Structure 1
């Protein structure tokens, strides 16, 4: 359920959920405001469509972004998936990948600490979304190799990074 939002200009800050909803609108992505402090939308990536959830924690001044590539890790694949997660997370500067214990859902998570005013700039919002999508796109093939091709974690990561390097 989309509702029309204000369009923000460069240099203009807004409440995090409001800023992200405006960005979803501006890009034509489907989205919904789950609550006053949460918005989620679907964003196309190179390999799949990602669900992006943003949860604003007012008391901590933290905006948590969750990017879900619609990958579920079966119980019998968890060990190799966790090994792959460890290898991938060593390479990340921002955020990390995780598997939720309930349902085995793969996700990328990143928390943005905002100032005391709790405002989010357009540039920061765009950078956070771009980073989440780029990291999911970059490592999506490695998860597919481990989950569906029975490659080992190191082999899957190496293959995914070589493939990504060759796509330029």
Structure 2
């Protein structure tokens, strides 16, 4: 895969989007740079392939990760989807789910504060990506139950979490 950048050799850290690109490349996941401060790629999950975007805000030293499961919320289901979001977000320690106002796209968002050096370690990048995908996988069935199975949000969440506990 040619992502148009030099490979990361320093295991201690690199610029955040560079490190994400190196992580994607190491796993064989497709990715591309949108610009100097944004990388976009695809990460396989248990239920679907997620689009993962890393956006670096230099002035704040924050890397924002967006994980998108390719789910659009139809207008007629927005009220139930927002209720489900509130129930899910109560359970999260890091990051949160949201629905973009333009297009109704479901996403998981997490911001990583990076130290004064502006570097992200490979282990921090790996943990952040794994966490985002794990949370999307964990709650993906609940969104499907609400959007396509016509379950109410509480029942959908309960069913999704019971199913997740039962997996080996």
- How large is the RMSD of aligned CA atoms in angstroms? 1.1
Contact 2:8 2:18 in 1 (8 A): no
Aligned residue number for residue 60 of structure 1: 60
Deviations 1:119-140 (A, max 9, x none): 1001100000000000000000
Deviations 1:12-46 (A, max 9, x none): 11000110000010000000000000000000000
d(CA) in 1 for partners of 2:30 and 2:161? 30
Q: How many angstroms does 1:116 deviate by?
A: 1.3
d(CA) in 2 for partners of 1:57 and 1:40? 15
> Does residue 2 of the first structure (1) align with residue 36 of the second (2)?
no
Deviations 1:94-113 (A, max 9, x none): 00000000000000000001
Question: Are the structure 2 counterparts of residues 137 and 13 from structure 1 closer, same or farther at C-alpha, using a change threshold of 3 Å?
Answer: same
Aligned residue number for residue 139 of structure 1: 139
Gap regions ≥5 residues in structure 1: none
Name the TM-score, length of structure 2 as normaliser.
0.96
Aligned residue number for residue 86 of structure 1: 86
Gap regions ≥5 residues in structure 2: none
Question: Are the structure 2 counterparts of residues 8 and 92 from structure 1 closer, same or farther at C-alpha, using a change threshold of 3 Å?
Answer: farther
Name the TM-score, length of structure 1 as normaliser.
0.96
Contact 1:5 1:22 in 2 (8 A): no
Instruction: Report the count of equivalent residues.
Output: 167
d(CA) in 2 for partners of 1:134 and 1:128? 10
Contact 1:13 1:122 in 2 (8 A): yes
Question: Are the structure 2 counterparts of residues 46 and 5 from structure 1 closer, same or farther at C-alpha, using a change threshold of 3 Å?
Answer: farther
> Runs in 1 of length 4+ with deviation above 3 angstroms?
7-10
Q: How many angstroms does 1:9 deviate by?
A: 5.8
Contact 2:8 2:14 in 1 (8 A): no
